[in-house]
């Protein structure tokens, strides 16, 4: 660990993004760099999200770094979709291989970050009372890292235990013999519910909005596939970086609205059997045409009704009010079948809203459900929550909280007007959560590293974007979103709708990763258009 508190760069967060940013700045550019990490180990999202069933929805051979050919060749995944412990092992392997821990301060939460204009430095204060200074500040805090525990009256009086999936105890939770309530049926709840039901005496699922889910068809990877993924690593990387979503498959160039119904059915059936998010890639118009989308929505709803034996439960689960994939579509292992178990019941909060938490359990407008444990699978204050918690102040003491009171405004999701030398990896306004994240992260880290290298080469002290560049980029973010069905879902976290009081702004860039990558490349080639150096 360096013993000086003045550095070239400070990176906040030691997940996928912060680790690669450290490698790039320290080992490529030779910058004195320190990573500040609130957790006791590397991993970010994968350090905190240890709930039962936590698993990645991207296929393992695409959920990894590709910047090091050696790393790609030496790491071996065991399953089609890696579980949280395996991903954490991978990230620890990366930390060992690149000797990262010596420049990471663990158990170090950032309290504030202020730009000191006289010295062109960021001044970062930690919870432990440390003050650090650096020319560059790079946030790598993740998009889904600020847990959203609903402000339900009575939680403080609950006599049992409660947990949020995004801050799961390292020692695990013992569900044996317990009555468990799970609130939330997003990707997390859908992964956790079958696992909890295997162990608990009884599980009551509290569903506010019914959700689509596709079978993951997870399985151990065959030796043939492992060899294929290594031998074709360049080709796989090429596909991931030239399509819109960063996944290792192309979106089919055909339209559902131009395909005969029986053919559509066969295509969906094959995708359903294959499993995974490729279902979304079966037709190119699924996210831009309501008619096309309806074909997928109806296919999945029919499957749900067939899978669930109890017609009342089937109706509650299949009564979905939004287009398919307009909210992030979960993939699952035995989710719907879990509702056929005798020890699993389902409560529709649409029909009987939750009123309060009482010492004995959850009280809806209909009755009290006695519970020993409540699991909040209620998601995150996504994209902006963790950034705003950093208490960032820029030029003239302006506060990011004030500047973003009506929603985030960025240039390319990478820079914010009024905050020189600050870069935000996978910030709002970038494709981030609409993609498989590792390739989106690699692209951001490499772009930021190139920009800093450019500054060092030309002895430039500061870089900052302008209000005009941010306004123009926001127009492009809005245009891209409005060209899809995504903004139609009024209760999506993409819009900030899951957090009471949060401004309703569509946050990620929906124009596609490959298109976005070429915009970023053009901006750099054009002398970092929209950014000013001094």
C-alpha separations of 347 from 98, 211, 300, 350, 354 in Å: 49, 14, 21, 9, 10
Q: DSSP per residue over 381-431, as a string? A: -TTTHHHHTT-EE-GGG-BHHHHTTTS---BTTTB-TT-TTEEETT-TTSS
Verify binding: residue 209, ligand N01, rule CB under 6 A.
Answer: yes
Instruction: Tell me how far, at minimum, the Cβ of 378 lies from ligand N01, in Å.
Output: 4
427 binds ligand N01 (CB under 6 A): no
Cα dihedral 334→335→339→345 (10° resolution): 140
Binding of ligand N01 at residue 208 (CB under 6 A)?
yes
Q: C-alpha angle with apex 302: 216 to 253, nearest 5 degrees? A: 60
Q: Which stretch binds ligand N01 (CB under 6 A): 97-105, 183-191, 222-230, 405-413?
A: 183-191
Among 18, 44, 189, 429, binds ligand N01 (CB under 6 A): 189
Alpha-carbon distance of 329 to 279, in angstroms, equals 10
Residue 443, both tokens = 């692209």
Residue 195 as a binder of ligand N01 (CB under 6 A): the answer is no
Say how far apart CA 421 and CA 123 lie, in whole Å.
Answer: 12
Residues of span 38-57 touching ligand N01 by CB under 6 A: 56-57
Nearer to ligand N01, 10 or 317 (CB): 317
Phi, psi angles (nearest 5°) of residue 433: -65, -10
* Helices and strands (DSSP H and E) totals, the chain: 16, 20
Instruction: Indicate the residue among 78 and 120 with the shorter CB distance to ligand N01.
Output: 78
Q: Does 491 bind ligand N01 (CB under 6 A)?
A: yes
Q: From the CB of 425, what's the least distance to ligand N01, in Å?
A: 16
Of 183 and 196, the one with the shorter C-beta distance to ligand N01 is 183
Q: Which of residues 116-155 bind ligand N01 (CB under 6 A)?
A: 144, 150
430 binds ligand N01 (CB under 6 A): no
Nearer to ligand N01, 464 or 484 (CB): 484
> At its nearest, how many Å lie between ligand N01 and the CB of residue 299?
21
Using rule CB under 6 A, residue 259 touches ligand N01: no
Distance in Å, CB of 144 to ligand N01, minimum: 5
Quick one: which of 387, 490, 378, 489 has its CA closest to 429? Answer: 387
Backbone angles phi, psi at 119, to 5 degrees: -110, 5
Can residue 338 be called a binding residue for ligand N01 (CB under 6 A)?
no
Residue of 451, 426, 433, 435 whose CA lies nearest to 24: 451
| 186 scored as a contact of ligand N01 (CB under 6 A) | yes
Identify the sign of the CA torsion 161, 167, 172, 176.
positive
Contact partners, residue 227, CB within 8 Å, separation at least 6:
none
Segment near ligand N01 (CB under 6 A), from 26-34, 187-195, 230-238, 362-370?
187-195
Which residue stretch of 101-109, 184-192, 467-475, 515-523 sits at the interface with ligand N01 (rule: CB under 6 A)? 184-192
For position 465 contacting ligand N01 by CB under 6 A, the verdict is no
Residue 204, classed as helix, strand or coil, is strand
329 binds ligand N01 (CB under 6 A): no
Task: Name the 3-class secondary structure at 490.
Answer: coil
| Site of interaction with ligand N01 (CB under 6 A) | 56-57, 144, 150, 183-189, 191, 208-209, 328, 349, 354, 377-380, 433, 491, 493, 498
């Amino acid at each position: 660990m360096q013993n000086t508190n003045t550095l070239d760069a400070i990176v906040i967060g030691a997940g996928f993004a912060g680790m690669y940013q450290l490698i790039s700045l320290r080992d490529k550019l030779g910058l004195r760099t320190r990573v500040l990490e609130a957790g006791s180990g590397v991993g970010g999202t994968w350090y905190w999200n240890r709930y039962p069933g936590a698993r990645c929805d991207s296929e393992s051979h695409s959920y990894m770094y590709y910047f090091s050919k050696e790393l790609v060749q030496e790491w071996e995944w065991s399953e089609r979709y890696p579980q949280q412990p395996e991903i954490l092992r991978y990230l620890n392997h990366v930390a060992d291989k690149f000797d990262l821990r010596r420049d990471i301060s663990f158990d170090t939460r950032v309290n504030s970050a202020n730009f000191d204009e006289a010295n062109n430095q960021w001044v970062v204060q930690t919870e432990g009372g440390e003050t650090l200074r650096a020319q560059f500040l790079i946030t790598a805090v993740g998009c889904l890292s600020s847990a959203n525990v609903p402000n339900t009256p009575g939680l403080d009086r609950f006599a049992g235990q409660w947990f949020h999936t995004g801050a799961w105890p390292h020692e695990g939770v013992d569900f044996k013999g317990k009555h468990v309530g799970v609130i939330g049926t997003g990707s997390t709840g859908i992964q956790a519910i079958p696992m909890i039901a295997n162990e608990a005496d009884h599980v009551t699922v509290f569903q506010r909005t019914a959700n689509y889910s596709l079978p993951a068809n997870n399985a151990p990877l065959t030796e043939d596939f492992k060899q294929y993924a290594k031998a074709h690593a360049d080709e796989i990387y090429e596909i991931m970086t030239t399509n819109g979503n960063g996944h290792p498959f192309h979106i089919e160039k055909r339209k559902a609205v131009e395909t005969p119904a029986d053919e559509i059915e066969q295509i969906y059936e094959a995708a359903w059997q294959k499993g995974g998010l490729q279902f979304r890639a079966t037709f190119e118009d699924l996210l831009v045409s309501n008619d096309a989308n309806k074909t997928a929505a109806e296919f999945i709803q029919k499957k749900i009704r067939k899978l669930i034996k109890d017609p009342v439960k089937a109706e509650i689960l299949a009564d979905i009010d939004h287009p398919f994939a307009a909210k992030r579509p979960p993939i699952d292992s035995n989710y719907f079948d879990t509702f056929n178990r005798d020890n699993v019941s389902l409560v529709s909060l649409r029909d009987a809203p939750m009123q309060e938490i009482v010492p004995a359990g959850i009280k809806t407008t209909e009755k009290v459900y006695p519970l020993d444990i409540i699991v909040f699978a209620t998601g995150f204050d996504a994209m902006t929550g963790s950034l705003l918690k950093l208490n960032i102040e820029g030029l003239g003491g302006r506060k990011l909280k004030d500047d973003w009171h009506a929603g985030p405004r960025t240039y390319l999701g990478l820079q914010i007007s009024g905050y020189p030398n600050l870069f935000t990896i996978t910030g709002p306004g970038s494709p981030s959560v609409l993609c498989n994240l590792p390739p989106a992260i690699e692209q951001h880290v490499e772009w930021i590293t190139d920009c800093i290298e450019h500054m060092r080469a030309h002895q430039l002290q500061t870089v900052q974007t302008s209000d005009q560049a941010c306004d123009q980029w926001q127009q492009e973010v809005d245009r891209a979103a409005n060209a899809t069905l995504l903004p139609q879902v009024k209760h999506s976290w993409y819009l900030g709708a899951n957090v009471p009081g949060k401004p309703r702004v569509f946050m990620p860039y929906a124009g596609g990763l490959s298109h976005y990558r070429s915009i970023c490349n053009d901006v750099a080639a054009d002398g970092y258009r929209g950014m000013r150096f001094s």
